[in-house]
Amino acid sequence: MNFLLDEVARATLRLADAGVASPRADAEELAAFVHGVRRGQLHQVPDSDFDALYWECVARREAREPLQHITGRAYFRYLELAVGPGVFVPRPETEIMVGWAIDTLRAMDVADPLVVDVGTGSGAIAISIAQEVPRSRVYALDVDPEALNWAKRNIAASGHGDRVIAQQDDMRSALPDFEGRVDLLISNPPYVPTEGAERVPPEVGHYDPAPALWAGRDGLDAIRELEGVGRRLLRPGGCLAVEHGDGQGIDIPRIFPEELGWRDVRNRKDLARRDRFVVARRADE
């Protein structure tokens, strides 16, 4: 067991020197991946020489390839998702927004909530809602066919394919049959400003798909479009939740003004107490 810990410690130092944000956690996750266990089960792995595969994986992470691309898996709330090149890797911060959405749906006086997840990527948001709000029906939209293939794969594996419908569509014209009928619209849209491209970590800028990242000079272009999508699709009293980036919280509420029928516009914080997503409600008729 000491040998295993020594090797993980060596890998941790290498990853820290390479600028990896969470070197110990990543070194342990790679060890767990190589040994076919979860991180919490590493203590069960007997002393033995590490396979060369471990150091191959460490070298890839050292070169700033995303951890999830190396292991092929990402964890989100109660899900283990397949991810890789061509799909945005879901982040823990988004789990807070999904938790708000789930609580909001449970509190609605609606037997079978209708939900739209715009820019579904891996399907993390849509599948989580379907799993935790059992009578919900979720439409998972994405314009990127490669990302949508990952979503379909994860939806099929989740067992919720009867209630999560993935489709390639432009949010501006999608789902015309549901205009004014949707109970909740949720999105983790692109919100990285093109102005700040040089400050984006390699794991993001070199590996996450461009359509999931860039949103104009100030990073708000997609969110401005989502405002119109929300007005078109949400029923009176329906709710919206949209993630945004650091420092954007002060500008987001102005995109959802009262004169356009938005009520209760609020910024919500992530676990680091930073503004992370905006919520709003359509005015009742």
- Which residues are annotated as part of the binding site for substrate? 188-191
- Cite the annotated binding site for S-adenosyl-L-methionine by residue number: 119-123, 142, 188
Q: Beta 234-243 vs 275-282: how paired, if at all?
A: antiparallel
Host H or E run for residue 197: none
DSSP for 122-134 reads TSHHHHHHHHHST
Host H or E run for residue 33: helix 23-35
| 8 A C-beta contact, residue 244 and residue 252 | yes
For residue 244, give the amino acid letter.
Answer: H
Host H or E run for residue 76: strand 73-76
Closest CA to 239 of 102, 140, 44: 102
- Cite the annotated binding site by residue number: 119-123, 142, 188-191
